[in-house]
Structure 1
Amino acid sequence: MTVDLSVDFCGIKHENPFILAPSPSTDNLELLIQAFESGWAGAVLKTVAFNSRIVSRVFPMVTRVEQEAAFIGLQNIDLVSEHSVETIEQNVRILKERFPNKIVIPSIMAFTKDDWQTLTKRFIAAGADIIECSIWHPHGTEWTLCTKVEEPVGTEQIASWVKEAAEDVPVVIKLSALDSDIIATAEAVERSGADGVSAINTIKSITGVNLDTLIPYPNIAGLSTYGGLSGPALKPIALRCTAEIAQKVDLDIAASGGITTWQDSAEFLLLGASTLQICTAVLRFGLGIIEDLKQGLESWMVEKGFQSLTDVIGKSLPYLVEHSWLPRGIQVVAHIQKEICDTCGACYTACRSGGHNAIIWTNGFPEVEADNCIGCGICRAICALNAIILIRPGRELKCSPLV
């Protein structure tokens, strides 16, 4: 069985759903050429402002975010592209001439109607397939436009300006999870006539504080600032935004935020995304991850019997309901699989700290007293080895785990 990874996004066919997100990787023409040659379907070029002279970088721009030495993301204080509009226009022309079937998406930022529309028209004339609008930026008051336009009315106005100038060329608006109501803003985008949304942008954050110097990271000559968080830490938030938008708004969705593996990719597609924008994973593992992403997704689709992405997109949305709709009265208890357990005791601590004291030690192993267990699942969530399953009481050997 063969599967078709091509997808229609905003009326334009993509050879696969994998798109480079706006980042340093998409601000370099040679890297973009390498990416297209290696199999990426397209790229969103690093955001360009109407007046590139306002860009003034500081270094270092990127810091690692970790928990107990495990990588969970990056924080950046990078700004928009340092290249001029003319340079980005030329890059668009070169890419479209060399790769006519790849999707080239300039990301634009402006402050007035004339500037938004001028940028739009110039990039369309250069050959852009889609225009993406970056309305929100997490760095500094001179870049943070959310106070002026992130609310639905302002977003709708900008989106309508850009769509008016773009005419038949699709327009995508990038949304932020920090919006007070991302669904209201997505509905405003829909009213504007724009074609899709990208969800989500990086999240305004602080990496941490150096406990010796007392200066927050990153340390820029003794000062610091807020940055944009990207990477795996964003995935649960981005999944939520993708699903909510897909359930409530009739717009194509480009998902972004924490996509690292083909499994992540499948999850976003199942929750309503049509394309997948990836940045942090590329910085960690290189442009070559595209092969693993495509092959993994293809193999999973074959296993599940999906012939095309049309069969996948949104498939999991019907299972998402309001809390009040969830079935009540189903009793489960925890069961510890001794063949997997390493007796670390994390489940015991969790149950004693926030559960119902249902886990005891027997002959050197933790064991669940079913009469005390209410099935809260805290112990299972804490277990790093996935040694704990939830089952119906009294059926440990006869039923599958409830997940």
Structure 2
Amino acid sequence: MADLSINFCGIKAPNPFWLASAPPTDKAYNVVRAFEAGWGGVVWKTLGEDPPAVNVSSRYSAHHGKNREVLGFNNIELITDRDLELNLQEITEVKKAWPDRAIVVSLMLPCEEKAWADILPKVEATGADGIELNFGCPHGMPERGMGSAVGQVPDYVEMVTRWCKQHTKLPVIVKLTPNITDIRAPARAAHKGGADAVSLINTINSITHLDLDRMVAFPAVGNASTHGGYCGSAVKPIALNMVAEIARDPQTKGLPISGIGGIGSWRDAAEFIALGAGCVQVCTAAMLHGFRIVEEMKDGLSRWMDEKGYKSLDDFMGKAVPNVTDWKYLDMNYKVIAQISQDDCIKCGRCYVACEDTSHQSIFRTVDAAGSPTYTVNKDECVGCNLCEITCPVQGCITMVPQDTGKPYMNWTQDPRNPRREVKAA
């Protein structure tokens, strides 16, 4: 049976599934219930200086699908609103009771070295396994010079990281904000400052929707609102890309990564690990479905690993990274065309409409004497864009079939159609 245990930058845990720093990890009661359910670790909700932060009501909103499925989740909640000493006491008690589980403490403080130097020994005294520097929170705290206000400035990231490495022996994980043009810049800064690992992504600036009668966005606080932090399954593609960018960057190569963003299943976790993550953090899925989801996550990942012959996470960690490249290095001579299974086709016509109206007019529609339509691919015109496959409601009905072009690999830097191609000297 597959071994799910991990050693993430010196922090051991029985499995890679951790709860992210958020409401689910706000107090001992929650964390104990999480450990009883089987979570391998938690990142305790972000601590700060006393007096604690004061939150507003309400705090959450969501972007729903057609059937009320929560696609994205928005929050304007701040860091812990509980006293620092109470949090530290509970962390101490939980760690003593659960020594085999990872407890990482998230921290957010002003950019003053003394503030960090004062709190770090207190955290270390709890027996916690590591700290996570919250440089990602996009709402409320940046207005106070913290959160993403730090994470968006690489010099600040490096500076605070270096302070923490000087004032604690615990592993230092730097949580990065996605609200930035190039995620590699703060990751490089964290690495330069001595970070033991990075975690990403934190939440994305967002407004989910409005009350058009009141003309107020959600979550509404009286007659006003503000942008919040967006998370949930909708952000997973953004998170995967940013994790991959750091994993394949020569300047941060080998830097441990804790993957965060839209993880709700074992498959999501496996994708993050394949792109270089050494553990994953979950928040929204647990808030929507409860702590027991970890049972399916662990079982599913273990079964898949057994099926693939992977004995441990190390066997496939980062295995997909070499296959992520820049667009200019993709094979210009590789070609696929769509193929429609007539046995599976339900004659809805979505593929035809999408291709005819917005793509390459590569699907024929013919109607028999009884008025029943048939859809077939014009192989000479199909460019292999995948739009028909994406719009088809029947999984597997449309497949993209590789074609033998008889041409060797050629990327854009070599393509004669590229006016700036790299021409080798004779």
TM-score normalised to the size of structure 2?
Answer: 0.88
1:81 is paired with a residue whose SS is coil
1:21 aligned partner: 20
* Cα distance in 2 between the residues matched to 1:238 and 1:194: 20
1:399 aligned partner: none
Matched, 1:373 2:372: no
Is this contact kept in 2: 1:46–1:81, CA < 8 A?
A: yes
Matched, 1:349 2:359: no
2:246 aligned partner: 245
Is this contact kept in 1: 2:104–2:130, CA < 8 A?
A: yes
1:391 pairs, out of 401, 404, 410, with 401
Listed as ranges, the matches of 1:275-286 within 5 Å are 275-286=279-290
Judged with a 3 Å threshold, the aligned counterparts in structure 2 of structure 1 residues 117 and 344 are, in CA distance, closer, same or farther, namely: farther
Structure 1 residue 66: Cα displacement: 1.6
Matched, 1:263 2:273: no
* Cα distance in 2 between the residues matched to 1:17 and 1:150: 28
2:160 pairs, out of 158, 161, 166, with 158
Is this contact kept in 1: 2:350–2:392, CA < 8 A?
A: yes
Matched, 1:114 2:124: no
Aligned residue pairs: how many?
392
Structure 1 residue 244: Cα displacement: 1.1
Task: Give the letter for the 2:292 counterpart.
Answer: G
* Cα distance in 2 between the residues matched to 1:144 and 1:262: 37
2:61 aligned partner: 63
Task: Give the letter for the 2:201 counterpart.
Answer: I
Structure 1 residue 227: Cα displacement: 0.5
* Cα distance in 2 between the residues matched to 1:393 and 1:10: 44
Structure 1 residue 341: Cα displacement: 2.3
2:205 aligned partner: 204
Structure 1 residue 148: Cα displacement: 4.9
2:35 is paired with a residue whose SS is helix
Task: Give the letter for the 1:162 counterpart.
Answer: C
1:5 aligned partner: 4
Bigger mean CA deviation after superposition, 149-158 or 358-367: 358-367
1:335 is paired with a residue whose SS is strand
Structure 1 residue 67: Cα displacement: 3.3
Task: Give the letter for the 1:31 counterpart.
Answer: N
Is this contact kept in 1: 2:135–2:149, CA < 8 A?
A: no
* Cα distance in 2 between the residues matched to 1:283 and 1:277: 13
1:191 aligned partner: 192
* Cα distance in 2 between the residues matched to 1:144 and 1:231: 26
1:129 aligned partner: 129
Matched residues, percent identical? 37
Structure 1 residue 358: Cα displacement: 1.3
5+ residue gaps in structure 2?
368-372, 406-426
* Cα distance in 2 between the residues matched to 1:392 and 1:311: 29
Matched, 1:227 2:228: yes
Listed as ranges, the matches of 1:14-93 within 5 Å are 14-53=13-52, 55-69=53-67, 70-93=69-92
1:52 is paired with a residue whose SS is coil
* Cα distance in 1 between the residues matched to 2:43 and 2:144: 19
1:362 is paired with a residue whose SS is strand
Is this contact kept in 1: 2:248–2:321, CA < 8 A?
A: yes
* Cα distance in 2 between the residues matched to 1:304 and 1:175: 32
Judged with a 3 Å threshold, the aligned counterparts in structure 2 of structure 1 residues 346 and 126 are, in CA distance, closer, same or farther, namely: same
Structure 1 residue 265: Cα displacement: 0.6
Is this contact kept in 1: 2:161–2:174, CA < 8 A?
A: yes
Structure 1 residue 149: Cα displacement: 5.2
Structure 1 residue 42: Cα displacement: 0.9
Is this contact kept in 2: 1:5–1:308, CA < 8 A?
A: yes
1:398 aligned partner: none
Judged with a 3 Å threshold, the aligned counterparts in structure 2 of structure 1 residues 370 and 38 are, in CA distance, closer, same or farther, namely: same
Structure 1 residue 337: Cα displacement: 1.5
TM-score normalised to the size of structure 1?
Answer: 0.93
5+ residue gaps in structure 1?
396-403
Task: Give the letter for the 2:318 counterpart.
Answer: G
Instruction: Note the alpha carbon deviations across 1:166-191, whole angstroms, 9 max, x for none.
Output: 12x10001001112321111111111
1:45 is paired with a residue whose SS is strand
Structure 1 residue 316: Cα displacement: 0.8
Is this contact kept in 2: 1:19–1:41, CA < 8 A?
A: yes
* Cα distance in 2 between the residues matched to 1:320 and 1:393: 22
Bigger mean CA deviation after superposition, 26-35 or 334-343: 334-343
Structure 1 residue 125: Cα displacement: 1.0
* Cα distance in 2 between the residues matched to 1:263 and 1:116: 38
Structure 1 residue 131: Cα displacement: 0.5
* Cα distance in 2 between the residues matched to 1:327 and 1:187: 30
Listed as ranges, the matches of 1:282-293 within 5 Å are 282-293=286-297
* Cα distance in 1 between the residues matched to 2:319 and 2:16: 16
Is this contact kept in 1: 2:108–2:135, CA < 8 A?
A: yes
Task: Give the letter for the 1:322 counterpart.
Answer: D
Structure 1 residue 211: Cα displacement: 2.2
* Cα distance in 1 between the residues matched to 2:185 and 2:151: 13
